[in-house]
Structure 1
């Protein structure tokens, strides 16, 4: 039996703008608020040191309140997630 990883599905299948409605509906249900996808982003940002600093932002969305949301799709447990995001965004 073969499985499709959700991370792969978002980055490959749902990257097509024609499929954004599916992804928007799924994320809206998870967040319990309507969102609109602005873009699907490349997954790596500004590394100053390759082994040390990067983040994995996958989706840029906007809430109905007008707030920008950076959504990362991750399929493994990571300790100190918020510290890593703060460091990666600095």
Structure 2
């Protein structure tokens, strides 16, 4: 029988396809982070699957706090060995673009 549960990363990506749903995600992330955010844009959205065991879903969100601070939020399901390096790259890219 196929795996029938819905993964959090997949659900977030489905939710983010419609900007009208940003309010729901903003509320969830604001409660999770303990400060209010507003989603500005999606920076990256990946879904790669070569096998059932090799599924990677990642969503990078650029959000803004009530103080005007830009925050990079990443939603992903699997551990990643180069996570720190990838986040440094993502933050550097944001600095050069904004």
TM-score scaled by length of structure 2: 0.65
Question: Per-residue displacement from partner, 1:18-60 (whole Å, max 9, x unpaired)?
Answer: 111110010001110000011123236xxxxxxxxxxx55211
Q: Any stretches of 5+ residues in structure 2 without a counterpart?
A: 47-57, 93-98
Per the TM alignment, residue 80 of structure 1 is displaced from its structure 2 partner at its CA by: 5.6
* Structure 2 SS opposite 1:9: helix
Separation of aligned partners in 2, 1:78 and 1:37: 25
Q: Relative to total residues, which structure has the larger strand share, 1 or 2?
A: 2
**Structure 1, unpaired ranges of 5+:** 45-55
| Paired residues for 1:36-75 under 5 Å | 36-43=38-45, 58-75=60-77
User: Which residue is equivalent to 1:11?
Assistant: 13
Task: Give the SS at the match of 2:75.
Answer: coil
